[in-house]
Amino acid sequence: MSTLSHHLSPFPFLLLVESAVTAPTVDWEEGGGRRVEMAGYRAEDDYDYLFKLVLIGDSGVGKSNLLSRFSRNEFNLESKSTIGVEFATRSVTVDGKVLKAQIWDTAGQERYRAITSAYYRGAVGALLVYDVTRRATFDSVTRWLRELRDHTDPNIVVMLIGNKSDLRHLVAVPTEDSKAYAENESLYFMETSALDATNVELAFQEVLTQIYRIVSKKAVEAGDDEASSVPSKGETINVKDDSSALKKFGCCSS
């Protein structure tokens, strides 16, 4: 499924982090458990940009399996609903630059939304997921998109994902409906299958590439107008301190 193109204004976030900075890493235990440790990044884990992405959508649409497929190339048929929030990381290369994605999987169950909403802050990209076999999950997209936009910068890169495309005989959401919605809301759109890996790599890669294009354009413009204000590679910007990054680009955040 081709990606819908649209215009976005330059994104205010630029996260540049030293390769040696101490940060949480995820150690996936056998059996699906997760242990978060504090560890220094190794030299081979060097990267140019760190981008925070969030996965959102109703429970059971396949967010966790999309995450595991992209980050570890794994799929778990016995996957249970995520409780709270978990994340994984993976780096990709775009135009010779290493982009490290820190991807947060937010629980879709209503009772956990108050917990996960705090993790929207600082996100520069989002994958808004619905299940193509369950119309109700598509109907919930508007609510999720509104919540996302309430907690993030308006220029966040958003990809609408119709997951479980392998279940073609059970499709309840026509592709045309999703395309029309995405176009109306200025979203990118793709149909994926975490089970057989269709378009999973492409979807994440597209989101990261679009973020990189926006950030690169903004950095060039800032360099032309105010070279001293542009962070150099390796300069640490605390992800928790959004204002430091925003001030660099003359933007503000709620």
CB 122 within 8 A of CB 13: yes
Distance CA 153, CA 149 (A): 7
Q: Distance between CA atoms of 44 and 29, rounded to whole angstroms?
A: 22
Closest CA to 89 of 28, 167, 132: 28
Q: Across the chain, where does the E strand assignment appear? A: 22-28, 34-40, 49-56, 85-94, 97-106, 125-131, 157-163, 188-191
Summarize pLDDT for 11-38 with one digit per residue, the tens.
444 443 323 233 333 333 333 433 333 2
42-82 pLDDT, tens per residue? 334 689 999 999 999 998 999 999 999 999 988 887 766 65
Could you read off the pLDDT of 178-219 as tens digits, one per residue?
999 999 999 999 999 999 999 999 999 999 999 999 998 887
Average pLDDT over residues 131-160: 95
Residue 40: is it exposed, middle or buried by C-beta count within 10 angstroms (0-12/13-18/19+)?
A: exposed
In this predicted model, what pLDDT tens digit does every residue of 78-114 receive, in sequence order? 766 655 567 789 999 999 999 999 999 876 555 566 6
Instruction: Retrieve residue 12's tokens.
Output: 């205010």
The amino acid at residue 225 is D
What was the pLDDT predicted at 216? Answer: 87
Q: How confident is the model at residue 221 (pLDDT cuts 50, 70, 90)?
A: confident
Judged against a pLDDT cut of 60, whether residue 248 lies above it is answered with no
Q: Catalogue all structural domains in the chain, each as residue range(s) with its CATH number.
A: 22-237 (3.40.50.300)
Greater model confidence, 172 or 220? 172
